Structure 1
C-alpha cells in the first residue's frame, strides 16, 4: 500500500491490525500448545478490536487533515501487513509470541512518535498523538492481560 496522506496512514494501520488478527486466529487453531494457542486467540481478538478502533479515527477525523499529504512517511520504511504475521506463530512458545507482538506494536508506536515530531499542521499532530495514545493504551492493556496469563 502506498501511503500518501494521513487517511492512507490510518487505513494502513487498520489493515495491519486486521491482518494480524486474522493471522493469529489461524495460527491459534494450528498451534499444538494449549497455552500458546490461548494467547494467540486472545491477541487475535484484541487486534480485531484495535482495528475497529483505528477505523473510527478515519470516520471521525477532520477531512482536511485526512487528505493532508504525508511526506515524511517514505523515510521510515515500515513493514507491510503481510510482514506482520507469518506461519512461525504456529511454532513459537508463549514468551516468543508475546515478544513478537510487542515488537510489532513498538514499531507502529515508533512510527507515530517520529511523525508527531515532524507534523507541521496542528490537526495532523493531534491526530497522530491520539493514534499514538490509542496504541500505547492498547499495548499496556495487552501487557497486563499477558502478565495475567503468565500467572496461570
Structure 2
C-alpha cells in the first residue's frame, strides 16, 4: 500500500491491526500450548476491535485533514500489512509473543510520534496525537491483561 495522505495512513493502520488479528487467530488454533493459544486469541480479538476503532477515526476525521499529503512518510520503514503471517507464531513462547506484540505497537507509535514532530497543520497534528493516544491506551491495556495472564 502506498501511503500518500492521512486517510491512507489511517487505512494502513486499520489493515495492519486486522492483519495481526487474523494471523494471531490462525496461529492460536495451531499452537500446542493452551496458555499461549489463549494469549493469541485474546490479542487477536483486541486487535480486531482496534481495527474497528481506527475505522471510526477515519469516519469522524475532518475530510480536509484526511486528504492532506504526507511527504515525510517515505523516511519511515513500517511493517507491511500485505505480508504473510509469521509462521513463528505457532511455535513461539508466551513471552516471545508478548514481546512481538509490543514491538508491533511500538513501531506504530514511533511512526505517529515521528509524523507529529513534522506536522505543520494543526488539524493533522491533532489527528496524529489522537491516533497516538489510542495506540498508547490500547498498548497499556494489553500490557495489563498480558501481565495478568502471565501471573496465572
TM-score calculated relative to the size of structure 1: 0.98
State whether structure 2 residue 19 is matched by structure 1 residue 19.
Answer: yes
Query: Any unmatched runs of 5+ in structure 2?
Result: none
Task: Give the number of aligned pairs.
Answer: 152
CA distance in 2, matches of 1:53, 1:84: 24
Q: How does 1:3-152 map to 2 (within 5 A)?
A: 3-83=3-83, 85-152=85-152
**CA contact 1:16–1:84 (8 Å) conserved in 2:** no
Q: Following TM superposition, by how much is the alpha carbon of 1:78 offset from its aligned partner in structure 2, in angstroms?
A: 1.0
**Alpha carbons of 1:36 and 1:82: their partners in 2 closer, same or farther (altered >3 Å)?**
farther
Which digits, 9 at most, give the CA deviation of each residue in 1:105-137, with x for residues without a partner? 000000000100000000000000000000000
CA distance in 2, matches of 1:27, 1:97: 11
Query: Any unmatched runs of 5+ in structure 1?
Result: none
What value does the CA root-mean-square deviation take over the aligned residues?
0.9
Give SS of 1:81's match: coil
Q: Following TM superposition, by how much is the alpha carbon of 1:79 offset from its aligned partner in structure 2, in angstroms?
A: 1.6
